[in-house]
Amino acid sequence: MTAHATPTPALWLRILRHPLTRLVVLGAALFFMMAISGGFMERFKGNTLTSIAVVTGMVAAAIAVYVAYARLVEGRSADELSLSGAGRELALGLLVGAGLYTASVLILMTLGIYRIEGFNPWTFLIPALVLALHSGFFEELLFRGVLFRSVEDMFGSWISLVVSSAVFGLMHLINPTATLTGAIFISIEAGLLLAAAYILTRRLWLSIGFHMAWNYTQSAVFSGIVSGGVSDPGLIRPIIRGPDLLTGGNFGLESSVIAFALCTATGIVLLVMAVRRGKIVPPPWARGG
């Protein structure tokens, strides 16, 4: 029998489906939507329920755009956002993200650096949900779903890990009290952890859970500064006195060697698991025919 060769897609379709096109077109669309969502957060800052509703709507719209691009342009299903098993992975990410931040604070408490002065009403736990939803979903769709996947398609997992982590960290330099040290720390500790979570599962839910829980626990529970940006009071009223190397200073705990050690170690564990399970994608020139 004669085998039928798969027809080569038209040039315009190959251009549309190229990873670089995805990076530019879908990346720009999601970045624009993230900026709009951020604007709504500022506009409705005094109305928490409205902010949650609006940001949730923007997140849903961003997911719809992401899935539509995958299906209509790339001709594939967006398996990285499949709902099968999403609840389990999201819950695990939430648990580990909250656990990592809590462990960091407990170490500071043991050292006498973080002391609890008192507590605010439980309602102080609600506003931080807005930031958790916004950053957890938009940044993971953009940095892991678009940036990491696009660079990985072009150059393989290892180069993509370096590029996506560096860009993710440097983007935090736009925050009001950002520092270069904090951005570098985030590039390594968070960039590695979040990318490794995606590589291991080949889905976004675990990294979304990590991201949401870290930011929420940091702000809503322990009243910490989030990546040189948000510093609203949360449930706990703390007194924090110690060297910036341990507390993170005005950037927040992400710039602490404690968080750096814990998050980087967790990311390495996930990455080793991914390597052992054969989840690393080689560069195109090293792939088999």
Would you state the pLDDT for residue 289? 55
52 within some domain: no
How far apart CA 41 and CA 48 sit, in angstroms, is 9
Torsion of CA 121, 124, 125, 126, to 10 degrees: 120
Read off the DSSP letter of residue 280.
P
289 within some domain: no
Q: How many domains does the chain have?
A: 1
Q: Is 286 exposed, middle or buried (0-12, 13-18, 19+ CB in 10 A)?
A: exposed
243 within some domain: yes
Domain of residue 147: give its range. Answer: 84-283
Residue type at 16? L
155 within some domain: yes
Would you state the pLDDT for residue 174? 87
56 within some domain: no
Q: Is 119 exposed, middle or buried (0-12, 13-18, 19+ CB in 10 A)?
A: exposed
234 within some domain: yes
Q: Mark the ranges of the chain whose per-residue pLDDT is less than 50.
A: 1-2
Would you state the pLDDT for residue 228? 79
70 within some domain: no
How far apart CA 287 and CA 289 sit, in angstroms, is 6
273 within some domain: yes
Which residues are CB-contacts of 53 (< 8 A; sequence separation ≥ 6)? none
